[in-house]
Amino acid sequence: MNFLLDKSCHAGLGYWEGQPTKVSLANCPARGPTHEIGHALGIEHEQSRSDRDENIIVFMANVKPESASNYDKEPTINFNVPYDYYSLMHYRERSFGIDGKRAMLAKDARFQTRMGKGTKITHWNAKLMNTMYGCIDDWLKACKKESEPCKNGGYTQKDCSCACPLGTTGDKCENLVLSYRDALIKQLSPYTSVISTSGAVVVSPGYPDKGPSTETQYTQVFRATECQRAVVKFDDFGIQPRNSSNNLCGSSFLEIRSDVSVPEGKIFCGEEIKKGTAFESDKSVLILHYTNGDYTKHGKENTYRGYKATFTTEAIPNCS
């Protein structure tokens, strides 16, 4: 590899015989150098993986035409390493979006606002690389193992111990406590949840006293059974109001997505959702994405009370 500090942050893909791969590291974001070295070692973007359509929906109409190739699907070989929303190689939901529009929806909506925000090499990034380059096979041989002793997606490392994915415990990763995605979202966003019990009451963190003062982002997925709609009725709603200068919500807002196949939902802030207002899903899933910025950065605290809502379901007429 040839490391350069020219104009941009990019790298060639993989090794081409007879010439070193160029890795340009000018103006890179924090995760840039590792991401670019990933390309140079032959890794495509996560959202370009051959199995991406099972994990994301790409809205090409929302992508800047000159950047469209960043969302091409490639015939990647994935070596049984699962798709990872938190991969170093994944883009953010609005990357290369026209006017900041959403370019991708995560089919596992819990990861919608988390996609592409990983800054460290994940277990799956490392496993893919170590598999591709035959390292795991070499280590198994050196460790005198006939077959992989590590379970649940773990793999044998150079020192013969198992590298275990999140959600597993035990020397051999043999206890599956949580799925990788469940364990990851718990770590990244403990307030993110999937609610499927009719009658469940949800509140925002700190309700009704004060919302979180540090940067907070979470997703609540309301899931009804087939042929039922998810209905979320607000008993109370009060977060930071719109900016008077541009009439846009500031760093605090709630997005409600009632049709999970369209890229953008409706955005609310201030006192815009009156007591008793209900939102219902088109099909069986309704999603709330909540965001508030870092108040402490400006020496302030979040004094808004947040929200409280109740989840119920209702039958979709003529559905079978």
Per the annotation, where are the binding residues?
Answer: 35, 39, 45
Catalytic residues: 36
Asked if residue 313 lies in contact with residue 232, where contact means CB atoms within 8 angstroms, the answer is no
CB within 8 A of 100, min separation 6: which ones? 94
Integer angstrom CA distances of residue 273 from 32, 75, 111, 254: 40, 46, 25, 10
Within a 10 A sphere around the Cβ of 74, how many other Cβ atoms?
Answer: 12
Coil/strand/helix, residue 36 = helix
Tokens of 299: 């020496």
* CA–CA dist 2, 9 (Å, integer): 13
212 sits in which H/E element: none
Structure-block tokens of residue 68? 């469209």
DSSP labels for 2-22? Answer: EEE-SSSEEE--S-BTTBPPE
DSSP letter string, 226-251: TTEEEEEEEEEEE-PPBPTTT--B-S
Binding residues for Zn(2+): 35, 39, 45
Assess contact for 291 and 236: CB atoms under 8 A.
no
Kindly give, in sequence order, each residue whose CB lies less than 8 Å from that of residue 86, ignoring residues fewer than 6 positions away: 111, 114, 115, 117, 118, 122, 184, 188
């979040």: which residue's tokens? 302
Q: Is the dihedral of CA 265, 198, 204, 114 positive or negative?
A: negative
C-alpha 155/C-alpha 162 separation (Å) is 5
| Sign of CA pseudo-dihedral 86, 89, 90, 92 | positive
| Gap between the Cα atoms of 91 and 71, Å rounded | 9
